[in-house]
Amino acid sequence: MVFSFVIFALIAQINQMWYALPLVVAVSLVYSATRHEEMRPILEHAFRLAWSIFVFMGVILLVLWVISWLVSG
């Protein structure tokens, strides 16, 4: 019974992370469009910015996961 609750809570949190994808894409495109006027530089800069945002979020996720593991273990 507890295991199914944990699985349900984990799936609910993963579903909430999908909201980050359109948000990061929108922020990257708008920020890049304020820096460039042509389409190709906008898309190149947006891709680099989105990639760096996702890497930063992944590093923060990893750090918080390790801290949580150390505190609970």
User: What does the block give as tokens for 1?
Assistant: 């019974």
- In which band, very low, low, confident or very high, does the pLDDT at 69 lie, cut at 50, 70 and 90? confident
Task: Please report, for the chain, the start and end positions of each structural domain, with discontinuous segments joined by +.
Answer: 19-72
| Pair 50, 28: CB distance under 8 Å | yes
Total-model pTM:
0.75
Q: How large is the angle between the packed helices 20-35 and 39-72, nearest 10 degrees?
A: 140
Closest-CA residue to 31 (of 42, 20, 23): 42
What confidence tens digit (pLDDT) does each residue in 38-53 have? 999 999 999 999 999 9
